[in-house]
């Protein structure tokens, strides 16, 4: 026995075996789990969930059913994996902040934009949304191929007919082995318009398509800044988008301002965002925030950020964009299965793949309808022959000892087929009334017209195109809505300087390190003999050490005892009245321990023909061109090398 076992052992190179096994595993993950099909925009698990719910009759106008039953049905017949994978996919298809057009209507706790998880599937209920039924339209008319399920007991569709371009409309995200996809959602109206533009003009360019579909449309709204990333993604399949929250200012009592956030970037957790802002305010990394609260309700999102008195809203907004997820980068990866293979796709290629799919679906559906009509008219012709010769038919049937002999006799007497004879034998007596005979003749005439129509469609590609466009128009008119995400040209991006009026300011710095800015308008002209006005209230051991005048758009360069230079914009300084003390400058600059400000100077422009001259106590002199300081860094730069004893 041991000798026989040795003979069955086949030596294999371990490197080759590992490589082959890894490639097989990778392709299995890529094709059967992680990547969507370019035709219907669904991964296998999503397709199986939707088909199982359709098979169970859980359509949009029927009562909801327990999600546990749906998960069990999917696991039993189609998806032999963990129940959590199926339920998580089902939940995501019901969340309006994840899908632009949710495919499932949920009832119960399906989570929230705050990151709350859904309730267990024994508590929640679901049914198909009306728009998801369009993905299944005509599936029973041999429009797509069916393949055996994992155990061969039943069949499942390899792709859905998809009466709208779901991949672009709802997007997709997934991580496979060695590759990932991240397709953003789009507006249904715009996407369908783009499909029709490409159908009318197969040579349309990306610019032509972007005239009707300018960019993604996220369910959470917000802004997309710049079109360069959009165009790059549409042309190459990869690009980066800058997403920003929608913020507006609102005046509160006492002259204070509040920032109201009504829309946040796609896939940003609202609760975490609020926590991050509160932490930054507490740690003094963002000054000027006095309170933050979440007033969101069923009517929409509303995050209120109250500002301290005298703070400029635009400055705080800029800091929030820079330091929090109120501004994020969305990496577009248009990767999908095209012909069973993963490919990076341009916008035009994605639309063309969908058009080719719909053309195949419509042709297969028309062939199915044509075959069905031909089979029916064949039966109707037999029934009309029988009705016209009813006495002879009855005589033949009565004289026949069995059904089979009656069928054979009818077949011989009237030159009928087996199908026609069976229909005659199954015909009830009520079909012999004159009214029923008229109905048979009317049905025959209608079938003749239908056959001619179907044959005309199959012989004319233009009619197929017209049919596809007509069905897309119906979908657009019924389910289309307005764009939620606003796209702003890069040229139109506003800098903080654009949002802040240029105003002259008096900047004062005390010996103890307190700094403030005060509008020059508060210092009115004094006549002869005037008594003066208080410029600042300081403690007895403190005094004003430096004072200069600049505008809100000027930079201030700070030089420290360690030879480093730091930058601040004048508008970033705390504004106060003539009598206010200001704030410690160490709260505004990222100074090192034992580092202190030794000098400062206002700068309006960093040009090569202007210079900074620095001199140390021991007589070291350095002259630097001002343009060397034109790239501000939060942590500062080395401006001059100073010895430890200098």
- Please determine, for residue 612, whether its predicted confidence score (pLDDT) is greater than 80: yes
CA–CA gap between residue 553 and residue 556 (Å, rounded): 10
CATH of 361-479, one of 1.20.120.80, 1.10.268.10, 3.40.1160.10, 2.60.120.10: 1.10.268.10
For 254-288, the pLDDT digits (tens) are 778 899 999 999 999 999 999 999 999 998 888 88
**Exposure pattern of 9-29 as b/e (b: 16+ CB <10 Å)?**
eeeeeeeeeeeeeeeeeeeeb
- 123 as an active site residue: the answer is yes
Question: What pLDDT is attached to residue 533?
Answer: 54
Identify which has the larger pLDDT, 94 or 543: 94
Domain made up of 42-161: CATH architecture:
Alpha-Beta Complex (3.90)
Q: Which two tokens stand for residue 536?
A: 């600042």
Q: Rounded to an integer, what distance in angstroms lies between the CA atom of residue 234 and that of residue 181?
A: 14
User: Residues 162-168: what's their mean pLDDT?
Assistant: 96
Does residue 382 register a pLDDT over 50?
A: yes
Q: Where are the domains of the chain?
A: 42-161, 246-325, 361-479, 501-638
Q: Does pLDDT of 601 surpass 90?
A: no
Backbone angles phi, psi at 156, to 5 degrees: -140, 155
In degrees rounded to 5, what are phi and psi of residue 318? Answer: -60, -40
Q: Which of 56-60, 181-185, 575-579 has the lowest mean pLDDT?
A: 575-579
Return the number of other C-beta atoms located less than 10 Å from residue 453's C-beta. 15
Give the lowest-confidence range in 128-137, 343-352, 442-451, 626-635: 626-635
Mean pLDDT computed over 315-334: 91
Write out the two tokens for 331.
């990496």
Is the per-residue pLDDT at 68 higher than 70? Answer: yes
The DSSP output letter for 60 is T
CA–CA dist 392, 390 (Å, integer): 6
Pick 204 or 490 by higher pLDDT.
204
Average of pLDDT values for 216-239?
93
Which residue in 22, 25, 123, 523 is the catalytic one? 123
According to the model, what pLDDT value does residue 628 have?
Answer: 80
Which is more confidently placed, 126 or 642? 126
Question: CA distances (Å), 329 to each of 199, 239, 321, 471, 472, in order?
Answer: 33, 10, 11, 36, 32
In the predicted structure, residue 311 carries a pLDDT above the cut 60: yes
**In the prediction, which pLDDT does 492 show?**
47
Q: Is the pLDDT of residue 163 over 80?
A: yes
- Give me the CATH topology for the region 501-638: Neuraminidase (2.120.10)
How many other C-beta atoms can be found within 10 angstroms of the C-beta atom of residue 400? 16
Q: What share of the chain has pLDDT > 90, as a percent?
A: 53
> What is the pLDDT averaged over residues 326-355?
94
Whether residue 432 is predicted with pLDDT greater than 80 in this model: the reply is no
CA triple 599-565-277, angle to 5 deg:
110
What value does the mean pLDDT of the chain take? Answer: 87
Burial category of 535 from C-beta neighbours within 10 Å (exposed 0-12, middle 13-18, buried 19 and up): middle
Q: List pLDDT tens digits, range 69-85.
A: 999 999 999 998 889 99
What would the pLDDT profile of 461-507 be if each residue is shown by its tens digit?
Answer: 999 999 999 999 999 999 999 999 999 876 444 455 655 667 788 88
Which CATH number among 3.10.129.10, 3.40.1170.60, 3.30.1160.10, 3.30.1360.40 corresponds to the domain 246-325? 3.30.1360.40
| Cβ-Cβ contacts under 8 Å for 345 (sequence gap 6 or more) | 38, 237, 334, 335, 336, 338, 353
- On whether the CB atoms of residues 43 and 36 are closer than 8 A, the answer is yes
Q: Which residue has the higher pLDDT, 151 or 552?
A: 151
* pLDDT range class, residue 292, cuts 50, 70, 90: very high
- Which ranges of 402-460 does DSSP label H, i.e. alpha helix? 403-414, 418-426, 434-459
Report, as an integer, the average pLDDT of 292-298.
92
């Amino acid at each position: 026995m041991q000798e026989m076992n040795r003979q069955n052992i086949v030596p294999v190179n371990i490197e080759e075996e590992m490589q082959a096994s890894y490639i097989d595993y990778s392709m299995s993950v890529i094709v059967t789990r992680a990547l969507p099909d370019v035709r219907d925009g669904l991964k296998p698990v999503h397709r199986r969930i939707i088909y199982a719910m359709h098979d169970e009759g859980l359509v949009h106008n029927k009562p909801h059913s327990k999600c546990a039953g749906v998960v069990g049905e999917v696991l039993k017949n189609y998806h032999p994996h963990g129940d959590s994978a199926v339920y998580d996919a089902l939940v995501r298809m019901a969340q309006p902040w994840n899908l632009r057009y949710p495919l499932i209507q949920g009832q119960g706790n399906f989570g929230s934009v705050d990151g709350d998880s859904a309730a267990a599937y024994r508590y929640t209920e679901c049914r198909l949304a009306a728009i998801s039924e369009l993905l299944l339209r005509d599936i029973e008319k041999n429009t797509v191929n069916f393949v055996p399920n994992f155990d061969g007991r039943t069949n499942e569709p390899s792709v859905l007919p998809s009466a709208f371009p779901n991949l672009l409309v709802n997007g997709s995200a997934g991580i496979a082995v060695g590759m990932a996809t991240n397709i953003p959602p789009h507006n249904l109206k715009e996407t369908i318009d783009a499909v029709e533009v490409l159908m009318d003009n197969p040579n349309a360019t990306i610019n032509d398509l972007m005239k009707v579909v300018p960019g993604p449309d996220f369910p959470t709204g917000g802004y997309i800044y710049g079109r360069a990333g959009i165009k790059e993604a549409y042309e190459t399949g990869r690009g980066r988008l800058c997403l920003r929250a929608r913020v507006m200012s609102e005046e509160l009592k006492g002259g204070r301002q509040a920032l109201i956030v009504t829309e946040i970037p796609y896939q940003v957790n609202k609760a975490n965002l609020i926590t991050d802002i509160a932490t930054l305010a507490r740690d003094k990394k963002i000054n000027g925030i006095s309170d933050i609260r979440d007033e969101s309700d069923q009517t929409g999102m509303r995050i209120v950020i109250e500002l301290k008195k005298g703070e400029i809203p635009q400055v705080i907004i800029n800091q929030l964009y820079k330091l929090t997820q109120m501004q994020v980068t969305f990496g577009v990866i248009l990767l999908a299965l095209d012909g069973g293979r993963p490919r990076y796709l341009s916008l035009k290629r994605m639309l063309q793949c969908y058009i080719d799919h719909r053309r195949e679906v419509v042709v297969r559906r028309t062939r199915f309808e044509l075959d069905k009509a031909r089979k029916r008219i064949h039966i109707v012709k037999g029934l009309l022959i029988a009705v016209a010769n009813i006495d002879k038919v009855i005589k033949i049937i009565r004289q026949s000892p069995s059904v089979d002999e009656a069928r054979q006799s009818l077949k011989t007497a009237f030159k009928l087929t087996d199908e026609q004879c069976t229909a005659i034998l199954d015909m009830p007596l009520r079909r012999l009334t004159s009214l029923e005979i008229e109905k048979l003749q009317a049905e025959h005439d209608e079938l003749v017209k239908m056959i001619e129509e179907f044959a005309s469609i199959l012989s004319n590609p233009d009619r197929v195109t017209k049919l596809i466009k007509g069905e897309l128009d119906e979908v657009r008119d019924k389910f289309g809505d307005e764009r939620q995400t606003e796209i702003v040209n890069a040229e139109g991006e506003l800098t903080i300087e654009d949002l802040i009026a240029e105003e002259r300011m008096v900047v004062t710095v005390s010996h103890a390190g307190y700094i403030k800015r005060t509008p020059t308008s508060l210092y009115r002209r004094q006549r002869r003999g005037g008594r003066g006005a208080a410029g600042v209230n300081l403690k007895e051991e403190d005094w004003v050490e430096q004072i200069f005048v600049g505008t809100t758009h000027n930079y201030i360069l700070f030089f420290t005892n360690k030879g480093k230079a730091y930058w601040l914009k004048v508008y970033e300084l705390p504004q106060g009245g003539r009598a206010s003390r200001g704030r410690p400058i160490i709260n505004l600059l990222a100074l090192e321990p034992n580092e202190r400000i030794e000098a400062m100077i206002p700068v309006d422009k960093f040009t090569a023909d202007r210079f900074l001259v620095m001199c140390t106590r021991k007589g070291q002199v350095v002259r630097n061109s001002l343009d060397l300081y034109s790239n501000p860094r939060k942590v500062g730069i080395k401006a001059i090398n100073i010895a430890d004893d200098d």
